[in-house]
């Protein structure tokens, strides 16, 4: 197999400094019997359980709070697996990158599929959010391959902040599933989802333009160069 150079990781979210300290503390205290693969599986199962809780919330609203619990478990598995591998010096960069991000894709499918069945978010908005997430993921992975930089956060937001916002949304939706906007009533999660889609679209357009310009400058043809 050809040699592999891991991409430079960029994590500049609001909570990144505190999160790094917390994850290192957890890695030092993780039993040797638990390895990164166990944590990756835990993160995926937690997303599946969160999606199931959202689906159950259609008849049992209290399941929204259980979904928040599983989001916290997902953070533990998804965030600690890489930290644990680096702490124990047993990284598998290609394997880890591929598996982690396939797991992220399935996790988003489970989560948003559950929201689409919950009655708290319309299937159309949930589908739009899934498409926006997957497009951002494609952009991130292509930038990692072509530019050698893997951005975990965008505009100071990372999956950790997204989980916290979603958990806060769960608490709000439990008490106020419907909100009024411009004199009309909408599902709270529909309003939040549309705002999220707009935000992701703006980030995607900016990132694509920035990456395209960087690659163009790096690979200008002789006739394109100006004196």
Q: Answer yes or no: is 16 within a domain.
A: yes
Query: 159 with 91: CB under 8 angstroms?
Result: no
Number of compact structural domains in the chain? 1
Q: What pLDDT sits at residue 8?
A: 79
DSSP symbol at 187:
E
Distance CA 190, CA 172 (A): 13
Helix spans in the chain (H)? 16-29, 36-56, 63-87, 93-118, 123-147, 159-175, 188-218
Supply the pLDDT for residue 4: 66
pLDDT of 7: 74
83 found inside a domain: yes
CATH code of the domain containing 106: 1.20.120.1760
Does a structural domain hold residue 131?
yes
pLDDT value of residue 89: 94
pLDDT score of 226: 54
Say if 162 falls within a structural domain: yes
Half-sphere exposure of 192 (CA within 13 A, CB side): 19
pLDDT at 119: 96
Residue 3 located in a structural domain: no
* Cβ atoms of residues 115 and 54 within 8 Å: yes
Domain that residue 29 falls in: 9-224
Query: CA-to-CA distance for 136 and 144, rounded, in angstroms?
Result: 12
Q: pLDDT under 50 in the chain at which residues?
A: 227
For the segment 54-97, what is each residue's pLDDT rounded down to a tens digit? 999 999 999 999 999 999 999 999 999 999 999 999 999 899 99
pLDDT score at 3: 64
Domain for residue 109, yes or no? yes
């Amino acid at each position: 197999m050809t040699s592999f150079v891991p991409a430079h990781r960029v994590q500049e979210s609001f909570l990144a400094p505190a999160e790094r300290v917390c994850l290192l503390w957890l890695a030092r205290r993780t039993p040797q019997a638990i390895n990164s693969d166990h944590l990756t599986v835990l993160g995926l199962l937690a997303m599946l359980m969160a999606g199931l809780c959202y689906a159950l919330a259609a008849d049992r609203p209290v399941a929204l709070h259980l979904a928040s619990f599983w989001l916290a478990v997902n953070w533990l598995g998804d965030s600690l697996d890489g930290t644990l591998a680096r702490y124990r010096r047993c990284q598998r960069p290609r394997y880890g990158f591929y598996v982690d991000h396939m797991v992220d894709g399935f996790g988003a499918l489970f989560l948003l599929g559950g929201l689409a069945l919950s009655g708290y978010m319309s299937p159309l908005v949930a589908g739009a959010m899934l498409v926006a997430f997957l497009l951002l993921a494609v952009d991130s992975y292509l930038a990692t391959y072509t530019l050698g930089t893997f951005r975990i956060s965008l505009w100071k937001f990372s999956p950790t902040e997204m989980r916290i916002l979603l958990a806060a949304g769960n608490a709000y939706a439990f008490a106020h599933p419907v909100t009024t906007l411009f004199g009309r009533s909408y599902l709270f999660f529909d309003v939040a989802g549309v705002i999220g889609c707009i935000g992701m679209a703006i980030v995607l357009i900016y990132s694509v333009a920035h990456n395209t310009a960087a690659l163009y400058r790096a690979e200008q043809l002789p006739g394109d160069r100006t004196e």
